[in-house]
Chain A
Amino acid sequence: MDDDHVSRALADPTRRYLLDRLFERDGRTLTELESELEMTRFGVMKHLRVLEAAGLVVTRRSGREKLHFLNPVPIRLIHDRWITKYAEHRVAALANLKTELEESA
């Protein structure tokens, strides 16, 4: 059930973009995140709610502000549950190859 939430949350380019922004710098407000997207405040809120429900984003209050943090644990759980079990060595080799080829291109 958790895996379903996480997979669905990740299956959207805007939500992946939001996670990447939080990966760069964590603890951001809705206003900060909204400024990086061409989308209404309501739209960004909706995506953040999906990410929060999946546990990929955790919010903490700091004074008046609500800060959003990237929580990598659900992704780690999928990694440990699926990738490590089946294919870590092969996947790592291919991922490295892809990175090398794309960086040298």
Chain B
Amino acid sequence: MSTMTAQATQVYSVFVRATPEQLWDAITKPEFTSKYFYGSLIESTWEQGAPYAGWAGDRSQQYVDGEIIEVSPPQKLVTTWRALYDPETAAEPFSRVTWEIEPAGNGVTKLTFVHDELEASPKTAENVAGGWSFVLSGLKTLLETGEPLAG
């Protein structure tokens, strides 16, 4: 395995056979996020300046801490991001997460996901580098089949 310097700007994209509204719900409703987001319940009132939080499925622990920077359903969501599940990432400054949703024709929607402002958060950058692919793959599978990824 080659070594990797985790990137301060990470860009991911995936095409999903679903409407922008369905994607928006899958990103903002805990009953959906618990099925693809490492079991976590994502919660917010989805207003600018409101807290953005991710909880363990049994609410025993908060995994993610952040704030809503921009919210325009069903097109764009920008939040700050700090991972609390690891003491090293929890000690780093907030980074930024952007979800962009756009129709791509024929009932397909393009989701572009950017995690950036990670320059001062190298542990977080390294920690999330593989994770977002897993989350977005799971999100696509859930919306297209109604089932979470096995395993």
Contact = CB atoms under 8 A, between A and B. Distances in A.
Interface of A: 2, 23-27, 55, 58, 60, 69, 71-77, 79-80, 84-85, 88, 99
Contacts of A71: 11-13
12 contacts: A23-B4, A26-B7, A55-B13, A58-B12, A58-B112, A69-B11, A73-B14, A73-B133, A73-B136, A76-B134, A77-B137, A88-B151
The contact size tier of chain B is 20 to 34
B120 to A, nearest CB: 17
A72 B133 contact: yes
Nearest to A96: B1
A24 B3 CA distance: 8
A75 B13 CA distance: 12
B74 to A, nearest CB: 20
Given A80-B149, A84-B150, A99-B1, A60 B137 contact: no
Interface of B: 1-2, 4-5, 7, 9-15, 112, 114, 130, 133-134, 136-138, 140-141, 149-151
Given A80-B141, A84-B151, A58 B7 contact: no
Per DSSP, chain A at the interface is helix
A56 to B, nearest CB: 10
Nearest to A72: B133
Nearest to A77: B137
B151 A73 contact: no
A27 B134 contact: no
A55 B15 contact: yes
A27 B9 contact: yes
A82 B132 CA distance: 19
Contact of A77 (B4, B11, B140): B140
Contacts of B130: 72
A24 B114 CA distance: 18
Contacts of B2: 23-24
A76 B9 CA distance: 19
B119 to A, nearest CB: 12
A58 B13 contact: yes
A55 to B, nearest CB: 6
A72 to B, nearest CB: 5
